[in-house]
Amino acid sequence: MKVVIIGGGSSYTPEIIEGLILRQDEFPVDFITLVDIESGKEKLEIVGQLAKRMIEKAGVSIELSWTLDRREALDGADFVSTQIRVGGLKAREKDERIPLSHGLIGQETNGAGGIFKAFRTIPVLLDLAKDVSEICPDAWIINFTNPAGIVTEALLKHGVHKRVIGVCNIPYNMTQSAAEILKEDPNNVRIEFIGMNHFVFGSKVLVNGEDKLSKIIEALVNQSVDFSPANIVSSGWSETFLRAMNMLPNPYHQYYYQNESTLKKDLKAYQDNGTRAEQVQVIEEELFNEYKNPQLDIKPEALEKRGGAYYSDVACSLMSSIYNNSQNIMTVNTLNNGAIVDLAEDSVIEVNCLITKEGPVPLTVGRLPQQIKADILMMKAFEEQAIKASISGDYRDAYLAFVMNPLIKDEKKAKVILDELLNAHKEYLPQFDL
Amino acid sequence: MKVVIIGGGSSYTPEIIEGLILRQDEFPVDFITLVDIESGKEKLEIVGQLAKRMIEKAGVSIELSWTLDRREALDGADFVSTQIRVGGLKAREKDERIPLSHGLIGQETNGAGGIFKAFRTIPVLLDLAKDVSEICPDAWIINFTNPAGIVTEALLKHGVHKRVIGVCNIPYNMTQSAAEILKEDPNNVRIEFIGMNHFVFGSKVLVNGEDKLSKIIEALVNQSVDFSPANIVSSGWSETFLRAMNMLPNPYHQYYYQNESTLKKDLKAYQDNGTRAEQVQVIEEELFNEYKNPQLDIKPEALEKRGGAYYSDVACSLMSSIYNNSQNIMTVNTLNNGAIVDLAEDSVIEVNCLITKEGPVPLTVGRLPQQIKADILMMKAFEEQAIKASISGDYRDAYLAFVMNPLIKDEKKAKVILDELLNAHKEYLPQFDL
Amino acid sequence: MKVVIIGGGSSYTPEIIEGLILRQDEFPVDFITLVDIESGKEKLEIVGQLAKRMIEKAGVSIELSWTLDRREALDGADFVSTQIRVGGLKAREKDERIPLSHGLIGQETNGAGGIFKAFRTIPVLLDLAKDVSEICPDAWIINFTNPAGIVTEALLKHGVHKRVIGVCNIPYNMTQSAAEILKEDPNNVRIEFIGMNHFVFGSKVLVNGEDKLSKIIEALVNQSVDFSPANIVSSGWSETFLRAMNMLPNPYHQYYYQNESTLKKDLKAYQDNGTRAEQVQVIEEELFNEYKNPQLDIKPEALEKRGGAYYSDVACSLMSSIYNNSQNIMTVNTLNNGAIVDLAEDSVIEVNCLITKEGPVPLTVGRLPQQIKADILMMKAFEEQAIKASISGDYRDAYLAFVMNPLIKDEKKAKVILDELLNAHKEYLPQFDL
Amino acid sequence: MKVVIIGGGSSYTPEIIEGLILRQDEFPVDFITLVDIESGKEKLEIVGQLAKRMIEKAGVSIELSWTLDRREALDGADFVSTQIRVGGLKAREKDERIPLSHGLIGQETNGAGGIFKAFRTIPVLLDLAKDVSEICPDAWIINFTNPAGIVTEALLKHGVHKRVIGVCNIPYNMTQSAAEILKEDPNNVRIEFIGMNHFVFGSKVLVNGEDKLSKIIEALVNQSVDFSPANIVSSGWSETFLRAMNMLPNPYHQYYYQNESTLKKDLKAYQDNGTRAEQVQVIEEELFNEYKNPQLDIKPEALEKRGGAYYSDVACSLMSSIYNNSQNIMTVNTLNNGAIVDLAEDSVIEVNCLITKEGPVPLTVGRLPQQIKADILMMKAFEEQAIKASISGDYRDAYLAFVMNPLIKDEKKAKVILDELLNAHKEYLPQFDL
């Protein structure tokens, strides 16, 4: 069995290597190939060497290699994981700074920044999907490149390769936190998720099949417990909101339901410390310095403090479940196919699925609960437009995606920010006529 | 034939009286009864006397009466028009002032103010519908009480009387303006409308069956022509927005797509001149002073400056078309029934209909164009929640309607404004446990 | 203005010529071109000469021509009517005889025969549509080639030209009969039709907007009045059926709801007089003999006895309504677009439409009434399969269309009849690999 | 834990008792109560005594009782299984004989006979559901009373108790047969089922997640293997049918796709040996004679030859899975909820579900494959009408259910058979005004 990691020079790679090592019994990988592009060559070398040391230390029989030749790497692949960042952290910095400088949320996966991440990423991944379809047509693409939901929908709707699954660590993190609150083993806790990536809600918290949602809400009301990944700290939901919604929001919801205060907080943080991208650049530098240490032969602890922790763990579990036809339940991004009645069959949603050898099969959810229907329908229609613009490269399509996004909306500001971002990112937007 | 006017003491009544007089040949009304409530007794008397003078002057054989006994008035009615304002302009003043004082749009039909107008109005009209269903089951209710779309959906979904049509002057005004721009007779111009009341877009401007939308957009781009009713002045759409949307927005869209600038403008106006309700109170006083003049026997010109001009004209045309089974096309609020594929069959939409003796039959529209799909779906889901809360009187339902409304949204502000409005209006909200 | 008649050598052509002559004031045609294929050359000449005499006699300024060059004829066309019969009456004879010989309904538009008429016709008309789209892209194709509904759906779903409307004389005939029963001017009678071509039901019979359905049902129950075109004589519906359905069936419904007795009757007629096709061949011969008479300069009365009477009249009305943007109501075959909620938007249905310069706009119908829902949904799914097979030429697709058709259904008989028909018609089925 | 068996005097009861005994470790039942009605008193006593001996012999600690007092029995119940036959085998005999005597399929769950079984059963089970909802609201009703799909939809749509699951042995039998053909352990085989009870198709045959459908089709083509329960012997499908459908039909499909030959066969069997009901009466008598034997303390082998074998086994597995929140996959009848996109959310379908403590959660299926779409949509619409008639007791509703059923359809025969059946069964049809 062969796993190919696109964006193998990423600082996250040691986590996925660790995940594969730990699962070697149930999921016996023979080959791992790390792939990156010319500009990531140095990092790829560092990560490759570290991974090699990790495998040696673990004493497992995995053959590791790294290369800049993607097509060669794909030969014989069973799983292809994607963790790329087109334009790197420099591009992210612009996605955050430019909207903030005009008084709007500037964020890597939501609002104007998220739209531009989609614009830069989708064409690159559609191209990868073409290669996969040609070279290793039975392979599964496990996409954890953000905005994961939008990217996965673009691949499944417009790509030639249909074996694509999107993953995110939010459902995983929320489940872990719920288990902690309930003092239960996370393996016995299953949240029923409804919605789509970064806009998903938890409607039930099942422990051995019994719903403990009200206990979690009580805990949130009383102790202000948060479900937050490292880079998104939610400022606490009001009791009225939690009780009326009667569902678990995810940390990204603060951009929508606490827009003013979140923006204020983000603007202050930006003025005080610059963008999150700039901070991450520092963290990354430190990480790579650590990675270079020839003594290091395990995943460094520091990595867990980085935002995307557990992404790779989720990805490894998913690959193993597919390989073993485990028929367990995981929350992934896949085609709706009727699971949420109000959405189109070919919409990508984030929902609980039975994981089989043939991929994820969503469990039916039914109609959207009224309290989230308005926003879910709106966000999905916006996403469709963002995907359309990503592919067409049409200025008006891009403008409409901005106007349809609730974090932008203003018809005049939309143009100003759009123009500035198009200009800033033009080297990564070949589809646009700039 | 008998027409009953609920809210007969309204300052708009002379317009509807004039409309009925002018159509006497095609639509021979025998009886008109004006109905009002105790607190509107004086105004009813003034308007009744003026209407009487108007009918006498016109020399038509209409028998006019006015009464506070609604059930008696309904006896034998063929058409029942509703133009009520529960709580009067005093209540409107609060709908405008309270949200504005917290930095949100304060408006009589949109946002928090519009929701509370729905809360006060829906129970009263459901009660009327029960009377109509009992006393004059074949009569048509022509509702032009705002928020007209929400109120009509509430009546059609939850009322016992199914012959209800909602009307608004926005489509009429937009058609008039389009005709003016194109230098065409308005009777030859038909705009294809998509959406719902106060959130309707024009997708085609047909002159003798040919689409002139691009000419209108050109005119809007070049000369900043506006489609505005008297009380809503749109500040002009950008060229980018108009060309990308490729549809005609209505004036209310400024609250959504120009939120920041509109709010700024409205806040300034509020600080300078108080609420629109306060201004209207002055206008109304002047109007009633004029109405009292025993010399006055026609509709006074001043009335046209009032915001809701042409509402009554639309209502009279509609009644005549039903009576005559005219099979002409009018834009009204009625059950979707498949016309917009993306919405439920029992949603009320504002759309072009064939007007027949059996009521309006919508012309199919098909799928929502992508550029408006996000907002239309969101607004409709919000409206459903607002209707639910209007009937249940449940605090959480009301709170969710606030959170689902894009002009409120903020989970904490929603509570503050909701609480203040509930307290301010409590005498008109018997369904809430306050 | 130019009208092109594809299949101009048809015996029906004098009717359409008459229709165009009579409407010359409202619908001023300048050119008519009759088009046919090599094998129809002689008939084309005969019909052409007759049409010429008719135009001269009428004294209207229409320039008439006839040709075998279709592409040349299409140049400058505004309307293209299609009335072709691929394989001629000889092919129809097989469509009728082969199923009958195996004890199944053998009929030119229903069951196995109808499916094969679709198989032969659809590729030819898709080819025409390509020419139209290229040569006269603004022209409307008015299709009255049977099976009209299936053919129109094939063109609208799979063809490049989207201005296609299907017409049938059944709704026209039913309306005429209803008017007769009610002793009303047919112009004041409008039946609300639900369903699709040859499987349409009348749900209301409106006279000046009032529903007289119950009066018609009473008349049908008491006097066994029929709605039958010349070639389909319905044997009378039982009172129980009419009252329980509470809708008007059309004559073709006897194949489905009176299958056994209709089959018995048809088999007897076949044994006594051969197929309908053979009878029609005799009638046609007589007609053409009459047409040759140089004295004849009007449409001969004998034509009205032929089955498809009034088809052309409906087509002429339709062309005139489009030309004049009349906005009147006609029953045509067009895209559903939501009118019948239970069917796909791109299904072709037979339904009342507003006829505009931009084509027909369906009036919404809503949900299918329960009593016809089962059969309408089944028939539409069958039609989809028949269209698929018409285009793919795949044996299994064709077989499934047979098994899905309620007049065939039997998995073993389906193969026998399919094989025999494929062999019999192979010269007209280039898409099949025979 | 307590299991109540409604229709406890049924000859099937020993099977369910055996199932509960065998599962005692995983599913520790404390109490079993058998319930029957006055006329079944004697059988109840015989079965009760046998069950008691079985439990004693097994040495498990289950407390068994039997009673005619249903409400008392329901007290404290966790599971309520229903296996009733309103009117007994005498009624079934009429369901079979009357249609056959008019030359139509006469069968206990399909066609006219099946409709009348629904008419007799639905009111009785709605009444049971009311009791359950009142006395043991958390209990699950496991319905295996036929027509199981129709009955379950009636309960879920119109009953007050929502914890209802329908089971049938067809999916179980098909899976067993598939395993046999593939020489696999049935536990490793999972068929993907699409459709509804008695009209279900197998679209995939998964062995450890890999699809072996083509192997099964090959086997069916070559060796004429059948998937048949004891009382329905399918006469073999043609190669053309199997390959074109590319799905597994179930034995009941012969009534639809091999109607003529099946009817011929059934008519011959009827003339030779009388109805199946009459044969079953003999078998039952023998069975009860055996049951009476005080030496008998296990489930007699003879029972396996009875038609409904494995029903109870499926029911026991289901109860255990719910109790244990097993999250395994079973094929049951439950609310669609989007699983089959083409059907309403509240339709009951037979589909693979995840079995949880909160009941079955369907796995999404998506759109119906075209080759079965026509019939599935038709059958479901027919079922809706049959349910409507079962509840309304309206003659026209019943007649329409007959006309909508493809095994009846003929508008005149429908009345004759309906009238005869209504008369024959009138004692069990209180809802009809006879």
What are B402-424's pLDDT values in tens digits?
Answer: 999 999 999 999 999 999 999 99
Give the residue from A191, A364, A365 with the most D CB atoms within 10 Å of its CB, the best one to mutate: A364
Domain A2-166 has CATH 3.40.50.720: yes
Burial A356-376, CB ≥16 within 10 A → b, else e: bbebbbbbbbbebebbbbbbb
Q: Shortest Cα distance from C339 to chain B (angstroms)?
A: 6
What is the average pLDDT across B363-373? 98
Most confident of B283-287, C186-190, D370-374: D370-374
Give the residue from D364, D365, D368 with the most A CB atoms within 10 Å of its CB, the best one to mutate: D364
Does C183 touch chain D if contact means CB atoms closer than 8 Å? no
What is the average pLDDT across C50-69? 97
Give the model's pLDDT for residue B231. 56
Q: Which residue of C has its CA nearest to D414?
A: C241
Dihedral angle over CA of A48, A53, A56, A57, nearest 10: -140
Question: Bridge-partner residues for B382, per DSSP?
Answer: none
Give the model's pLDDT for residue B220. 87
ipTM value: 0.95
Binding-site sequence positions of C for substrate: 92, 146
Are there at least 3 beta-carbon pairs closer than 8 Å between C and B?
yes
What is the average pLDDT across A7-27? 95
What is the average pLDDT across A369-384? 98
Instruction: Tell the residue number behind the tokens 């796995």, with chain if given.
Output: D363
Q: What is the length of chain A?
A: 434
Burial class (CB in 10 A: 0-12, 13-18, 19+), A168: buried
Confirm whether residue A102 is marked as ligand binding: no
What is the average pLDDT across B260-272? 95
Confirm whether residue D198 is marked as ligand binding: yes
For chain A, the straight-line distance linking the first and the last C-alpha, in angstroms and rounded, comes to 43
Examine the pLDDT at B17 and tell me if it is beyond 60: yes
Reported confidence tier of residue C303, pLDDT bands at 50, 70, 90:
confident
Residue B20: phi and psi, rounded to 5, are -75, -35
What is the average pLDDT across A130-138? 98
Burial class (CB in 10 A: 0-12, 13-18, 19+), B81: buried
Q: Determine contact, residues B98/B106, Cβ cutoff 8 Å.
A: yes
**Which chains touch B (3+ CB pairs under 8 A)?**
A, C
| Contact criterion met (CB < 8 Å) for B356 and C206 | yes
Q: Which residue of B has its CA nearest to A387?
A: B370
Reported confidence tier of residue B300, pLDDT bands at 50, 70, 90:
confident
Who among B356, B361, B367 is closest to C364 (CB)? B361
Does A208 touch chain D if contact means CB atoms closer than 8 Å? yes
Does B293 touch chain C if contact means CB atoms closer than 8 Å? no
Burial A177-209, CB ≥16 within 10 A → b, else e: bbbebbeeeeeebbbbbbbbbbbbbbbbbbbeb
Does B358 touch chain A if contact means CB atoms closer than 8 Å? no
Return the percentage of chain A with pLDDT > 70, whole number.
Answer: 96
**Which chains touch C (3+ CB pairs under 8 A)?**
B, D
Pairing outcome for strands A63-67 and A31-35 = parallel
Query: Pick from B376, B267, B308, B5: which is nearest to B170 by CA?
Result: B308
E strand map for C18-143:
31-35, 63-67, 79-82, 140-143
The alpha carbon dihedral of C105, C109, C112, C116 has a sign of positive
Give the residue from C364, C365, C368 with the most B CB atoms within 10 Å of its CB, the best one to mutate: C364
Does B382 touch chain A if contact means CB atoms closer than 8 Å? yes
CB pairs under 8 A between A and D: 72
How far is C215 from C219, CA to CA, in rounded Å? Answer: 6
Examine the pLDDT at C386 and tell me if it is beyond 60: yes
Give the model's pLDDT for residue D232. 58
**SS3 category, B175:** helix
| Contact criterion met (CB < 8 Å) for A358 and D325 | no
Return the percentage of chain D with pLDDT > 90, whole number.
Answer: 89
Query: Pick from D15, D13, D12, D21: which is nearest to D313 by CA?
Result: D15
**SS3 category, D31:** strand
Q: Shortest Cα distance from A360 to chain B (angstroms)?
A: 27
Give the model's pLDDT for residue D233. 59
Does B345 touch chain C if contact means CB atoms closer than 8 Å? yes
Edge to edge, what strands does the sheet with C210-211 contain?
C189-196, C199-207, C210-211
Both tokens of B85, joined, read 């304002």
What is the average pLDDT across A37-56? 97
Examine the pLDDT at C44 and tell me if it is beyond 80: yes
Instruction: Tell the residue number behind the tokens 């009388």, with chain if given.
Output: D274
Question: What is the CATH code for B2-165?
Answer: 3.40.50.720
Binding-site sequence positions of C: 92, 146, 168, 198
Give the model's pLDDT for residue D309. 65
Q: Shortest Cα distance from A191 to chain B (angstroms)?
A: 23
How far is C64 from C48, CA to CA, in rounded Å? Answer: 8
Mean of the per-residue pLDDT values of chain D: 94
| Contact criterion met (CB < 8 Å) for B339 and C364 | yes
Examine the pLDDT at A234 and tell me if it is beyond 80: no
Does D382 touch chain C if contact means CB atoms closer than 8 Å? yes
Give the model's pLDDT for residue D429. 98
Examine the pLDDT at A233 and tell me if it is beyond 70: no
Does A341 touch chain B if contact means CB atoms closer than 8 Å? no
Give the model's pLDDT for residue B56. 97
The alpha carbon dihedral of C415, C417, C422, C428 has a sign of negative
Reported confidence tier of residue C227, pLDDT bands at 50, 70, 90:
low
Q: Give me the helices (H) in C224-325, please.
A: 239-245, 254-257, 259-273, 276-292, 311-323
B356 neighbourhood in chain C, CB within 8 Å:
206, 209
Catalytic residue from among B12, B252, B255, B399: B252
* Amino acid code (one letter) for A342: D
Binding-site sequence positions of B: 92, 146, 168, 198
| Contact criterion met (CB < 8 Å) for B354 and C358 | no
How far is B170 from A96, CA to CA, in rounded Å? Answer: 40
Residue B54: CB partners within 8 Å, gap ≥ 6?
B14, B17, B18, B21, B297, B298, B299
Neighbours of D267 (CB within 10 A): 16
Query: Pick from B98, B33, B426: which is nearest to B275 by CA?
Result: B98
User: Which tens digits make up the pLDDT trace of D78-92?
Assistant: 999 999 999 999 999
Integer CA distances (angstroms), C261 to B88, C235, C255, C258, in order: 71, 9, 9, 6
Dihedral angle over CA of A365, A367, A370, A375, nearest 10: 80
Q: Determine contact, residues D350/D314, Cβ cutoff 8 Å.
A: no
Reported confidence tier of residue C319, pLDDT bands at 50, 70, 90:
very high
B211 neighbourhood in chain C, CB within 8 Å:
358
Mean of the per-residue pLDDT values of chain A: 94
Question: Bridge-partner residues for D340, per DSSP?
Answer: D366
Who among B209, B210, B364 is closest to C362 (CB)? B364
Confirm whether residue A163 is marked as ligand binding: no
* Amino acid code (one letter) for A165: I
Q: Which residue of A has its CA nearest to B399?
A: A244
DSSP 8-state code for residue C56: H
**Which chains touch A (3+ CB pairs under 8 A)?**
B, D
Give the model's pLDDT for residue A311. 75
Who among D240, D378, D399 is closest to C374 (CB)? D378
Question: Bridge-partner residues for D34, per DSSP?
Answer: D5, D66
The answer to which of A270-274, B232-236, D28-32, D368-372 has the lowest mean pLDDT is B232-236
Q: CA angle, corner A171, sides to B407 and D341, nearest 5?
A: 75
Examine the pLDDT at B230 and tell me if it is beyond 60: no
Does B383 touch chain A if contact means CB atoms closer than 8 Å? no
E strand map for D229-364:
329-335, 348-356, 359-362
What is the average pLDDT across D206-213? 94
Reported confidence tier of residue A235, pLDDT bands at 50, 70, 90:
low
Q: What is the length of chain C?
A: 434
User: Which tens digits make up the pLDDT trace of D332-385?
Assistant: 999 999 999 999 999 999 999 999 999 999 999 999 999 999 999 999 999 999
How far is C240 from C52, CA to CA, in rounded Å? Answer: 52
Both tokens of A431, joined, read 């589809």
Who among C339, C357, C363 is closest to B209 (CB)? C357
